[in-house]
């Protein structure tokens, strides 16, 4: 595996292969877990060369503390990537990505970015799209791989590619979970053992909706709100059932596999998100 810290060296290397090889990009913020590794495996299956980027992008954090506390385990990450035969890891320093004083780019993703994460993390999607667009322009991948775990992000990235008029194919993979249903997340590293157990409340609520799809959406949301109210130190931020095409909350079920139940919650102060498409 080759490691590059600058876009100049990375692009120089990739340019040799571009004409004959497909290039898969897996953008991450590090602290790699089995969800990330599944993305690398999917990319290895589809592409000749796989690039994993590891960059904790300050522009997508609306909360400074969340950025400062974001877990870092770069040596372990490199070891995991080596084991999977990932071809290239790109670990830029901030000044390889942003010029000093650079501002976040203002995209207009419309309703896609207005609810849920868009509402509760102002500026998050502009910050995320700013870095993803830069990575796309540096690496020029043929395919880029994203997790359904961040469903709204996935849909915004698809819209970004359209806006860019880019031929990059966006490939998504399903959500990887702990045994108790908790979605794998780098932020889980900040949960105590007890909090990890408590955090299964999120999956249990999602799963309740899967099992009770025949019920009214209003009633399902009420169930989730009440379940959280009864659990100390679990604070629900939102529970929405949305149309996955535009990520707008709905009151009536749409066609099969076109709806998603999405939850964001704070478990002992750690913010977690999860969803299930149904």
Active site residues per annotation: 36
Q: How many residues bind ligand AMP (CB under 6 A)?
A: 17
Residue 124 interacts with ligand AMP (CB under 6 A)?
Answer: no
CA atoms within 13 A on the CB side of 152: 30
Residue 184 interacts with ligand AMP (CB under 6 A)?
Answer: yes
Please say whether the beta carbons of 38 and 45 come within 8 A: no
**79-96: string of b/e by CB count within 10 Å (b at 16+)?**
ebbeebebbbbbbbeeeb
- Let me know if 260 is exposed, middle or buried by CB neighbors in 10 A (0-12, 13-18, 19+): buried
Q: 197 CB contacts (<8 Å, ≥6 apart)?
A: 180
In sign, the C-alpha dihedral spanning 249, 251, 254, 257 is: positive
CB atoms within 10 A of CB 232: 8
| Only segment of 33-41, 190-198, 226-234, 258-266 that touches ligand AMP (CB under 6 A) | 33-41
Residue 70 interacts with ligand AMP (CB under 6 A)?
Answer: no
State which residue, 44 or 215, has the beta carbon closest to ligand AMP: 44
**In the complex, least distance from residue 254 CB atom to ligand AMP, rounded to whole angstroms:** 23
Residue 149 interacts with ligand AMP (CB under 6 A)?
Answer: yes
Residue 50 interacts with ligand AMP (CB under 6 A)?
Answer: no
From candidates 10, 37, 39, 260, binder to ligand AMP by CB under 6 A:
39
Residue 181 region by backbone torsions, left for phi larger than 0, else alpha for psi between -120 and 50, else beta = left
Look at residues 34, 65, 73 and name the one whose alpha carbon lies nearest to residue 266.
Answer: 65
DSSP-derived pairing of the beta strands 88-90 and 49-54: parallel
Residue 61 interacts with ligand AMP (CB under 6 A)?
Answer: no
From candidates 36, 121, 124, 190, binder to ligand AMP by CB under 6 A:
36
CB atoms within 10 A of CB 216: 12
Residue 143 interacts with ligand AMP (CB under 6 A)?
Answer: no
**In the complex, least distance from residue 147 CB atom to ligand AMP, rounded to whole angstroms:** 2
Residue 42 interacts with ligand AMP (CB under 6 A)?
Answer: no
Residue 150 interacts with ligand AMP (CB under 6 A)?
Answer: yes
From candidates 10, 23, 29, 241, binder to ligand AMP by CB under 6 A:
29
Tokens of 169: 């194919």
Tokens of 148: 């359904």
| Only segment of 67-75, 102-110, 160-168, 178-186 that touches ligand AMP (CB under 6 A) | 178-186
Residue 127 interacts with ligand AMP (CB under 6 A)?
Answer: no
From candidates 115, 126, 155, 186, binder to ligand AMP by CB under 6 A:
186
State which residue, 184 or 190, has the beta carbon closest to ligand AMP: 184
> Which spans of this chain sit near ligand AMP (rule: CB under 6 A)?
28-29, 35-36, 38-39, 146-147, 149-150, 173, 175-176, 183-186
């Amino acid at each position: 595996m080759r490691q590059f810290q600058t876009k100049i060296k990375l692009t120089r290397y990739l340019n040799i292969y571009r004409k004959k090889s497909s290039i898969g990009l897996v953008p991450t913020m590090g602290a790699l877990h089995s969800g990330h590794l599944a993305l690398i495996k999917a990319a290895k299956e589809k592409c000749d060369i796989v690039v994993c980027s590891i960059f904790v992008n300050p522009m997508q954090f609306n909360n400074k503390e969340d950025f400062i506390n974001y877990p870092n385990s770069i040596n372990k990450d490199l070891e995991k990537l080596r084991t999977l035969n990932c071809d290239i890891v790109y670990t830029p320093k901030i000044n390889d990505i942003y010029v000093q004083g650079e501002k976040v780019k203002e995209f207009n993703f419309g309703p896609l970015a207005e609810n849920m994460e868009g509402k509760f993390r102002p500026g998050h999607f502009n910050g995320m799209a700013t870095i993803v667009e830069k990575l796309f322009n540096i690496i020029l991948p043929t395919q880029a791989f994203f997790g359904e775990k961040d469903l709204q992000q996935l849909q915004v990235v698809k819209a970004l590619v359209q806006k860019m008029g880019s031929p990059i194919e966006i490939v998504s993979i399903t959500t990887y979970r702990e045994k108790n249903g908790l979605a794998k997340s780098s932020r889980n590293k900040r949960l105590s053992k007890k909090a990890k157990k408590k955090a299964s409340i999120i999956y249990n609520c999602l799963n309740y909706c899967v099992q009770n799809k025949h019920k009214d959406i209003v009633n399902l949301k009420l169930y989730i709100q009440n379940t959280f109210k009864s659990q100390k130190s679990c604070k629900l931020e939102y529970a929405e059932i949305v149309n996955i095409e535009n990520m707008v909350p709905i009151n009536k079920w749409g066609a099969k596999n076109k709806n998603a139940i999405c939850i964001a919650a704070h478990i002992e102060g750690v913010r977690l998100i999860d969803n299930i498409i149904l």
